[in-house]
Amino acid sequence: MPENTDKKSLRRSKRMKNKQKIAYAVGNIGGLAIAQSSILLLYTHYFANLKIPITALGISLILVIYGIWDAVNEPLLGHLSDLTRSKLGRRKPFIIIGCIPLIIFSVLIYTVPPGLSPLWTWVYLLVILIAYESSVTAVVTSWYSLYAETSLNEKERVDTSKFMQIFGIVGLVIGLGGAPMISGAFGEKYLLGYGIMGGVLAIITVLSMLPTILKVKENPNYQIQKEEEKYPFFESVKTSFKNKSFVFFVIVQFLLQLAYAVVVSSLPLFFKGILLLGDLEYSLILLCAFLTVIPALFLWMKVAEKKGSKFALFASMICFGAVFPFVFFMNTVPVAIIILLLAGFGLSGLMMFPTVLLGDVIDEDQVKTKKRREGYYAGVSGVLVKLSSAISWGVIGIVVTIFNIPRDTLGITVLTGLPKLGLQVLVGVIPVIIMIIGLMCLWKYPLSGDRLKQVKIHVEEMNK
């Protein structure tokens, strides 16, 4: 490619029109809807609804193994897409290939055939969950990798992130409210209701990716141009973990996602065991959180403009974590609604700022390595989200076992004594401890202020 054409292309790449930002951001509807619904529903569906012939700890172990596969799968696919050369770009081929398998396996993870022995139930779940996660990675992680390529400018990225979070709220509403509403509409016909729900969520995800496929153009200058420019996967891992900003970011993101996943995964058990609510009923309560998420989004943007994204994330983590000790008083539906309204205020900031910080880390990495590795970093970020979900399921299995929470009477009689305390600890104590540790790590995150300004200057110069 001639040099003058190359420079013109790069200059164009630095600014996206709002319609392109919106086309890209629409993908967050499907990405969050399908991810949040599985975090919310999988454990409770296997444990309390289907009552599969596996113990609480056994279910947790399956989901932890699934998370370990994710830990290998996400960064490998991200690295592979970084090295891909095609007319469609680096990311779009993976998005397109993954769409049909995603629809199929999104149905199968919720429709465990009845009558299987414990061994064959294990085999079925492991195979289907691994296939499902591989298709999610191909579609959602590849889409997410495009974020850091949308612009090299901090304000532009925050602007793109704003659109992402607006559509992300729609995705969260669908995943946390709409999904149990669909499954709950079929009563106790769990296989039918959850199977339809899984298919609907997958179709929504595929449709939300179409604007990116059709309207967003990848920058060809970010593709590896020569075979000798390719770099080994383990070299990428070694280099990235020498980056102090990256290390603190991944620790913070992991702890943040773990606290969130423990809360979300535990809430269906809490609603069933203490408030005796079915899927349809508690889906309406979960939707209340989003009455504060949307207005708070614009408030957090103002905070970030004045104090920076690191400060805004720190404050939103405090707001989110401070709410959940009040679940010890959540014995009625009105109290549950108030708590979720307050939680939505902090949740809004948690949705926005990790994405912005990751973009900053990728920029600093380019300054140090002279390479753009969005796919690898998006893969690592995806690992943390999915691995935190798997660990949260492990935590649930341990607490359910220690506190002797029954599956046969869950949702039929109100839990008291030790089982009730176990659910309160799950939602109101464990996430708060995790969040406090995350705040301590975020305090040490170095990429802010003057250091961040210098990184932005260098990145702009490198891509002129």
Q: What is the pLDDT of residues 66-121, one digit of tens each?
A: 878 877 787 777 777 777 676 777 788 899 999 999 999 999 999 999 889 999 99
| Number of domains the chain is built from | 1
Give percent of the chain above pLDDT 90. 46
Predicted pLDDT at 155: 67
pLDDT (tens digit per residue) in 406-452 = 988 888 888 999 999 999 999 999 999 999 999 999 999 998 888 88
Nearest by Cα to 162 from 143, 147, 178, 145: 147
**228 in a domain, yes or no?**
no
| CA 73 centroid distance within chain | 15
Q: Which residues contact 419 (CB under 8 A, 6 or more apart)?
A: 273, 403, 404, 405, 406
How confident is the model over 14-67, as pLDDT tens digits? 566 778 888 899 999 999 999 889 888 999 999 988 889 999 999 999 988 987
6 in a structural domain:
no
Nearest alpha carbon to residue 176 among 26, 329, 320, 288:
288
* Predicted local confidence at residue 450, as pLDDT: 86
Rounded CA gap, 373 and 81, in Å? 10
Residue 153: the pLDDT is 62
160-174 pLDDT tens trace: 777 888 898 899 899
Distance CA 427, CA 327 (A): 7
What domain range is 93 assigned to?
17-218+240-462
In a domain, 233, yes or no: no
Distance of CA 400 to the CA centre of its chain: 24
Would you state the pLDDT for residue 438?
96
Q: Per the domain annotation, does 1 fall within a domain?
A: no
Are 82 and 376 a contacting pair, CB within 8 Å? yes
Average pLDDT over residues 276-301: 88
Q: Give a yes or no: residue 224 inside a domain.
A: no
In a domain, 173, yes or no: yes
CB atoms < 10 A from the CB of 405, how many?
Answer: 24
**207/385 Cα distance (integer angstroms):** 23
User: CA–CA separation, 42 vs 49, rounded Å?
Assistant: 10
Name the most confidently modeled range: 74-88, 220-234, 360-374: 360-374
CATH code for the domain of 305? 1.20.1250.20
Rounded to 5°, angle at Cα 347 from 281 and 16: 115
What is the spatial distance between Cα 28 and Cα 13, in angstroms, rounded to a whole number?
21
Half-sphere exposure of 64 toward its Cβ, with a 13 Å CA cutoff? Answer: 14
The per-residue pLDDT for 269 is 93
Burial of 153 (0-12, 13-18, 19+ CB in 10 A): middle
Question: pLDDT band at 230, cuts 50/70/90?
Answer: low
Separation of alpha carbons 154 and 151, rounded Å? 8
Separation of alpha carbons 191 and 97, rounded Å: 27
Grouping H, G, I as helix, E, B as strand and the rest as coil, residue 89 is coil
